[in-house]
Structure 1
Amino acid sequence: MTNPPDSPSPVAPAGSGALEWHAPTLVRINEKTTVPALLRERVSRSANRALIARKQEMGEVWRTITAREFSEEVDAVACGLIGLGLEPGARVAIMSRTRYEWTLLDFACWTAALVPVPIYETSSSEQIAHVLTDADVSLVVAETITMAELARAAAAAAGREGTPVLSLDTEAIRTITEAGASVPPQALAERAEDLTTSSLATIVYTSGTTGTPKGTVLSHGNFTELCVNAHRWMPEIAMGTDSRLLLFLPLAHVFARFLEVFQITGAGVIGHTPDTKNLLSDLASFRPSYLLVVPRVLEKIYNSADARAGSGGARRVFRWAAKTAVDYSRALDTPEGPSRSLRAQRAVADRLVFRRIRTLVGGNADWIISGGAPLSQRLAHFYRGLGIPVLEGYGLTETVGPVSVNTPRLSKIGTVGPPLPPVAVRVSEDGEILVKGPSVFQGYHNDPAATAAAFTPDGWFRTGDLGSLDRDGYVSITGRAKEIIVTAGGKNVAPAGLEDPLRGHPLISQVVVVGEKRPFVAALITLDAEMLPGWLRNHGLPPMTVAEAASDPHVLAALDRAVERANRHVSRAESIRKIAVLSGDFTEANGLLTPSLKVKRDVAIERFADRIDEIYGGPVRASDPAGE
């Protein structure tokens, strides 16, 4: 295996005047390089080496499953799916939390030339009915009896009463496997052999911040070409036999789904955690070598460590150690590097603070891969300074996850890294990130109009994100084009630049910046109910509910200070002038968060229109030039 290039290729101007960067193709695959083919290749390399670790129901013991054992179980379930009468191309919906059986069903479906269709376990009956109908699902495998009943009700409401629904908690895997007892192995082998890179692999329905979820059509080649090249580009992550990944993000989301395939086609071990309430103990017993997280998890770890330090001397030590980590990381990016004094300070901070934080994530993590939302530069420097560099990346459902990512060798904090081979990135003249390459999706299912609108006339996928490319080929994201706020004064404001630093404050859970057609920028803020008690205790304040804290002068003063700090990064015209603190939080249950924990901005603005009007002294007036 050759090593990846030492640096990305330079940015080159495209003929249109836009900036464009093409990642090199490190490995060229043939049309038979499908997901099942990569699993077979893994078995041929290391049949008797551990591939999966399953936690026993009692205790902290993980039982390992070898590559051969997993492949044999995949084949048995795949034969069962054939035995149930599912023809090639049939769709199988999976509605479950992140657990071993999901990965087993994924690979069994692919081996039997079927199409797994994820459904978030938090989906409403209407959302389930839409997926079942739009994807023409032939079988549903749900995790629990309750989920199964919800799926049956949704199928009936959609006029699909005959759709079989099985439950993992009532022996779904055994039921499927027994149905394949009479299916000859040759029938399965022929199905897998008939697959090509252009064969449909999955339809992933976007969780969507607005509107009806669209079905993103992804092929085997979308997964495999990116996987194979990503392994060559950054072999340190998953190609070592000591590589360990514990999945706890939803496998219904493409970010986790890509890493599932990426890890299994590498050389290490993968595990699953269905209940994040047990996450810290599972991390301690599994000891992952890298983590897959969204920035909110990293914010929570930092804020929890800060809260546990309490007040007084212990807190001062933590704050000093945190500053030392940031200063040390920043110094790594200078030609001279950290000074002898700073290295000595970091060594002390490591003994006093950093080791305990590394223990929180299992004590074995070399890297953290972060995506799904921007990560503050200060947090990125903090984690690198304490010894676990954050490899921030960027991607979408339509690109099978990563478009670009910082790697152990090529990393620049404040960016989302260079494009992954063999992806090409262009920044249009109006600042939109455009993408082209074999990982870009096939189109939206049953929606040719949306598919056509998603691409430029010359075939580049419109991501809808605004960003830039620097001279070294690193991508930076500044926000969603559709979320740009235009104030009454005509100033364009990207909410993410203000929301992301505010979300790092221990008191703050969610932030929605507002100001469309208004005279100034403001923000709706929700409080973090989990962190509130510790914050109040550390500040010598009595216990109070979130609703009480929302109007408490000490809490409001702390939030004002946080806003002042966030405003230092933007111009006065872009700065937040007023805030409204809401008495409740945004959740999936109340319809204000997507399953991937993104705020449904339009829903929040509509639901809290009265609070927004209070900030500005009334609604937008039709007579205002900006309100016409």
Structure 2
Amino acid sequence: MAFRVGIWCHGARLPPRRTGRPARRRNEPRGPLAPMTTRDARTIFDLALVHANAKGAATAALVKRGGTYVPVSWNTLVDDAYAHARGLLGLGIAPEERVAIISHTRIEWTVLDLAIQAAGAVSVPIYPSNLPEDCAYMADHSDAKYVITEDRAQTEKFLSVRDRLPKVEGLFQIEGDVPDDPWVRPISALVDAGKDVSREAVDERRAGVERDQMFTIIYTSGTTGVPKGVVLTHGNVLYEAEAVHQIDLARPDDIQFFFLPLAHVFARVLQVAWLSQGHVMAYAESMQTIKDNIQETRPTIMAGVPRVYEKFYAAVVEQGESAPGLPGKLFREARRLSEKRGNAEWGGPPLTLAERIEWRILERVVFGKVGAKLQAALGGRMRAMLSGGAPLSRTIAYFFRDAGIPILEGYGLTETSAGSCVNRPDAYKIGTVGPPLPGTEVRIAEDGEILIRGPGVMKCYWKAPEETAAVLEPDGWFHTGDIGEIDAEGFLRITDRKKDLIVTAGGKNVAPQKIENLIAGDPLIARCIVFGDRRKYLSALVTLDPEALASFAKERGLSGTLAELAHHPEVERHVADVIAKANAKLASFETIKRWTILDRDLTIEDGELTPKLSVKRKVVEERYKDLIDAMYDESVPT
């Protein structure tokens, strides 16, 4: 995962620095977490209540209604949460009973989450992209008493697996036509159920909630096996709120643009940051309207997965490189120098004297304009952008930094309540995920695995004591399954997943993620999946970005379907050039000897990606076994 920004690292404080280069530090003992006005909170609902009491009429959120963004006050947010909490009590929900939510990100999701907390219950988020079988498993395994669905389509998923949900007493649907079935009711029926329950009754229930009680069960999508339910407590997420407050990433006068799925722990922590700081949350209408909604809300901070930033990057690069004559030539040269300059920070060859002089000119002439265009595209007020959930390409990070809008990367897992390590705007290193949050410890085991201990570490896996014991030591150290290293200044760098390491036939250990990120950094390439375990050399499956491929074809006057274009000679040459450039940066045993371009990108619907868009390697390896084996056919020359 990722959040980004941190000032404490293994007992040392990082002084301000405004470049992507290593920050200097001086020794200084780490103090306790700074006090906050919400320090007495026992639940995240308490944080919202603090702001409602202090500034009830002020804007808490911006939501799109009737084609226009309108404000929602703190009073309205809290009153709506109380109304739904009263309904839950009216239905007889008991402390720590589970209520599942399946919906895209919207303010109703937040209101219902707050209501569930106020009623002392536990929310179980489910991705709206999950298949009916997955929905049934999560609702049944968590013993959910009720399920809240977004619309008729999500409701139908549960109706189709109703026979597998004997413990679910009913569904409440947020919007749309409700099926004629007594098992399903509109969300207004939940509010009606609480008409005879007082607000004081909710407060009494809420007062009994302790910080070590369950807040949520989040099912990890996982790239293999059955999803595991991660139990996070109110204390886990309140720690994240306190840490975010300490590092001063989000500020009370910010407008945060919000679109990530609330079934993901990263989004839940972003929500916590908002409720902790009391700034304005601007909800996107959908993933498809992000660019328009950013223009309408003009946010100051936002967080996203790398794919979001890759699309902004691809659009700018396409426009710049396709420019005719001198402008296009200058853009290409500026981009080359930006990447070389960044790679020099990681041991690559430095710019020559002539290149340094050239860079000073192009930084102002080219990147000055690029930065202005990017800032305009982001609403004109963007102060900080955060990236998490997957590694961010260093090439893209350098590009945005040189354009004056750094993307800050961080790291964590569902099991660590998302944020564990984070960069910050005035002290960050591109290529790392920053130092630990205040109060979190990170160390590297003998085999290179990253271990984490701190207040954000989960309580357990739901109904899985053996799995919990396998990753959580008695003294609190959590085994992440990731491989990494910590530099002399305490910045963590992730190198790969422990279980994804490839051991070649020659006995070489290879971290595929590094290679995949190098190749997938090209705007045309959507994904690269590297293979080679117990093989003589490495191979790769490559998928193309449909939008970038369409633009690539249009610029060159190529025709055909996307599947046909994937195998056009010009496309194949471009991919070959990208892989050749990547190979030039790798050790000989890490180079890709053969590759195959697939006709289409991988999808969630076909079971090849998790809801977090992580590649299910075993599924892909089994599905494309013939293509992979063909790349090792010794009768075909390499």
TM-superposition CA deviations, 1:30-78 (whole Å, max 9, x none): 78532122222233443332111111232xx321122222112211121
Amino acid at match of 2:125: P
Amino acid at match of 1:178: D
Alignment of 1:54-73 (within 5 A): 54-58=63-67, 61-73=68-80
1:54–1:63 Cα contact (<8 Å) kept: yes
The question of 1:589 aligning with 2:612 is answered no
The question of 1:573 aligning with 2:575 is answered no
Shift of 1:399: 0.8
User: Given the superposition, is the C-alpha separation of residues 493 and 508 from structure 1 closer, same or farther in structure 2, using an over 3 Å criterion?
Assistant: same
TM-superposition CA deviations, 1:233-278 (whole Å, max 9, x none): 1x1x32231x111211111111111101111221311122242111
Q: Which residue of 2 aligns with 1:84?
A: 91
Question: Which of residues 532, 537, 547 in structure 1 aligns to 2:554?
Answer: 537
TM-superposition CA deviations, 1:389-422 (whole Å, max 9, x none): 1110011110111110101232111110001111
Please give the alpha-carbon distance, in whole angstroms, between the structure 1 residues aligned to 2:278 and 2:552. Answer: 43
Shift of 1:10: 5.2
Shift of 1:151: 1.5
The question of 1:391 aligning with 2:408 is answered yes
User: Given the superposition, is the C-alpha separation of residues 528 and 342 from structure 1 closer, same or farther in structure 2, using an over 3 Å criterion?
Assistant: closer
Please give the alpha-carbon distance, in whole angstroms, between the structure 2 residues aligned to 1:25 and 1:566. Answer: 45
Q: Which residue of 1 aligns with 2:438?
A: 421
TM-superposition CA deviations, 1:585-628 (whole Å, max 9, x none): 10111111111111111110111010010000189xxxxxxxxx
1:82–1:112 Cα contact (<8 Å) kept: yes
User: Given the superposition, is the C-alpha separation of residues 320 and 287 from structure 1 closer, same or farther in structure 2, using an over 3 Å criterion?
Assistant: farther
Please give the alpha-carbon distance, in whole angstroms, between the structure 2 residues aligned to 1:225 and 1:438. Answer: 6
SS of the equivalent of 1:534 reads helix
Worse-superposed segment, 527-536 or 199-208: 527-536
Q: Which residue of 2 aligns with 1:625?
A: none
Question: Which of residues 239, 251, 260 in structure 1 aligns to 2:262?
Answer: 251
Amino acid at match of 2:480: T
Please give the alpha-carbon distance, in whole angstroms, between the structure 2 residues aligned to 1:466 and 1:332. Answer: 22
SS of the equivalent of 2:599 reads coil
TM-superposition CA deviations, 1:467-523 (whole Å, max 9, x none): 011111110000000000111111111111010121121221111100011000110
Q: Which residue of 1 aligns with 2:292?
A: 281
User: Given the superposition, is the C-alpha separation of residues 283 and 63 from structure 1 closer, same or farther in structure 2, using an over 3 Å criterion?
Assistant: same
User: Given the superposition, is the C-alpha separation of residues 510 and 414 from structure 1 closer, same or farther in structure 2, using an over 3 Å criterion?
Assistant: same
List runs of 5+ in structure 1 lacking aligned partners.
12-20, 620-628
The question of 1:205 aligning with 2:219 is answered yes
Shift of 1:346: 3.0
Q: Which residue of 1 aligns with 2:131?
A: 124
The question of 1:552 aligning with 2:568 is answered yes
The question of 1:114 aligning with 2:121 is answered yes
Shift of 1:382: 1.1
2:6–2:422 Cα contact (<8 Å) kept: no
1:284–1:360 Cα contact (<8 Å) kept: yes
SS of the equivalent of 2:494 reads strand
User: Given the superposition, is the C-alpha separation of residues 85 and 551 from structure 1 closer, same or farther in structure 2, using an over 3 Å criterion?
Assistant: same
Please give the alpha-carbon distance, in whole angstroms, between the structure 2 residues aligned to 1:449 and 1:288. Answer: 45
1:487–1:517 Cα contact (<8 Å) kept: yes
The question of 1:613 aligning with 2:622 is answered no
Amino acid at match of 1:408: P
SS of the equivalent of 1:164 reads strand
1:117–1:204 Cα contact (<8 Å) kept: yes
SS of the equivalent of 1:573 reads helix
2:7–2:424 Cα contact (<8 Å) kept: no
Q: Which residue of 2 aligns with 1:517?
A: 534
SS of the equivalent of 2:137 reads helix
Please give the alpha-carbon distance, in whole angstroms, between the structure 2 residues aligned to 1:160 and 1:34. Answer: 27
1:36–1:192 Cα contact (<8 Å) kept: no
Q: Which residue of 1 aligns with 2:620?
A: 604
Question: Which of residues 138, 145, 164 in structure 1 aligns to 2:152?
Answer: 145
Please give the alpha-carbon distance, in whole angstroms, between the structure 2 residues aligned to 1:196 and 1:32. Answer: 10
Please give the alpha-carbon distance, in whole angstroms, between the structure 2 residues aligned to 1:23 and 1:474. Answer: 16
User: Given the superposition, is the C-alpha separation of residues 197 and 162 from structure 1 closer, same or farther in structure 2, using an over 3 Å criterion?
Assistant: closer
1:148–1:166 Cα contact (<8 Å) kept: yes
User: Given the superposition, is the C-alpha separation of residues 332 and 240 from structure 1 closer, same or farther in structure 2, using an over 3 Å criterion?
Assistant: farther
Amino acid at match of 1:574: E
SS of the equivalent of 2:277 reads coil
Q: Which residue of 2 aligns with 1:626?
A: none
List runs of 5+ in structure 2 lacking aligned partners.
14-27, 178-184
SS of the equivalent of 1:369 reads strand
The question of 1:377 aligning with 2:377 is answered no
2:8–2:437 Cα contact (<8 Å) kept: no
Please give the alpha-carbon distance, in whole angstroms, between the structure 1 residues aligned to 2:538 and 2:518. Answer: 16
Q: Which residue of 2 aligns with 1:238?
A: 250
User: Given the superposition, is the C-alpha separation of residues 292 and 448 from structure 1 closer, same or farther in structure 2, using an over 3 Å criterion?
Assistant: same
Q: Using CA pairs below 8 Å that are at least 6 residues apart, which structure has the higher relative contact order?
A: 2
Amino acid at match of 1:315: G
2:143–2:167 Cα contact (<8 Å) kept: no
1:113–1:195 Cα contact (<8 Å) kept: yes
Please give the alpha-carbon distance, in whole angstroms, between the structure 2 residues aligned to 1:435 and 1:569. Answer: 31
TM-superposition CA deviations, 1:187-243 (whole Å, max 9, x none): 10011111111011000001111111100000000000121122111x1x32231x1
Q: Which residue of 2 aligns with 1:193?
A: 207
TM-superposition CA deviations, 1:305-350 (whole Å, max 9, x none): 222343423433433454566578789999xxx9898555433335
Shift of 1:165: 4.0
Shift of 1:4: 8.2
Q: Which residue of 2 aligns with 1:451?
A: 468
Question: Which of residues 93, 102, 108 in structure 2 aligns to 1:95?
Answer: 102
Name the Cα RMSD after superposition: 2.7
Aligned length: 599
In the superposition, the TM-score normalised over structure 2's length comes to: 0.88
Shift of 1:536: 2.1
Please give the alpha-carbon distance, in whole angstroms, between the structure 1 residues aligned to 2:34 and 2:413. Answer: 23
Please give the alpha-carbon distance, in whole angstroms, between the structure 1 residues aligned to 2:391 and 2:29. Answer: 23
Please give the alpha-carbon distance, in whole angstroms, between the structure 2 residues aligned to 1:484 and 1:577. Answer: 18
TM-superposition CA deviations, 1:546-591 (whole Å, max 9, x none): 3223322221111111112222332101111110111121011111
User: Given the superposition, is the C-alpha separation of residues 123 and 4 from structure 1 closer, same or farther in structure 2, using an over 3 Å criterion?
Assistant: closer
Alignment of 1:9-28 (within 5 A): 9=11, 25-27=32-34
User: Given the superposition, is the C-alpha separation of residues 255 and 24 from structure 1 closer, same or farther in structure 2, using an over 3 Å criterion?
Assistant: farther
Please give the alpha-carbon distance, in whole angstroms, between the structure 2 residues aligned to 1:340 and 1:274. Answer: 45
The question of 1:465 aligning with 2:482 is answered yes
Identical counterparts, % of pairs? 36
Q: Which residue of 1 aligns with 2:20?
A: none
TM-superposition CA deviations, 1:80-118 (whole Å, max 9, x none): 221222122121111011111111111111111111110
Q: Which residue of 2 aligns with 1:16?
A: none
Please give the alpha-carbon distance, in whole angstroms, between the structure 1 residues aligned to 2:580 and 2:282. Answer: 42
TM-superposition CA deviations, 1:270-318 (whole Å, max 9, x none): 1222421111100110111112111121111111222234342343343
User: Given the superposition, is the C-alpha separation of residues 161 and 440 from structure 1 closer, same or farther in structure 2, using an over 3 Å criterion?
Assistant: closer
Worse-superposed segment, 264-273 or 428-437: 264-273
User: Given the superposition, is the C-alpha separation of residues 311 and 239 from structure 1 closer, same or farther in structure 2, using an over 3 Å criterion?
Assistant: closer
The question of 1:294 aligning with 2:296 is answered no
Please give the alpha-carbon distance, in whole angstroms, between the structure 2 residues aligned to 1:587 and 1:130. Answer: 21
In the superposition, the TM-score normalised over structure 1's length comes to: 0.90
User: Given the superposition, is the C-alpha separation of residues 47 and 87 from structure 1 closer, same or farther in structure 2, using an over 3 Å criterion?
Assistant: same
User: Given the superposition, is the C-alpha separation of residues 351 and 411 from structure 1 closer, same or farther in structure 2, using an over 3 Å criterion?
Assistant: closer
User: Given the superposition, is the C-alpha separation of residues 370 and 54 from structure 1 closer, same or farther in structure 2, using an over 3 Å criterion?
Assistant: same
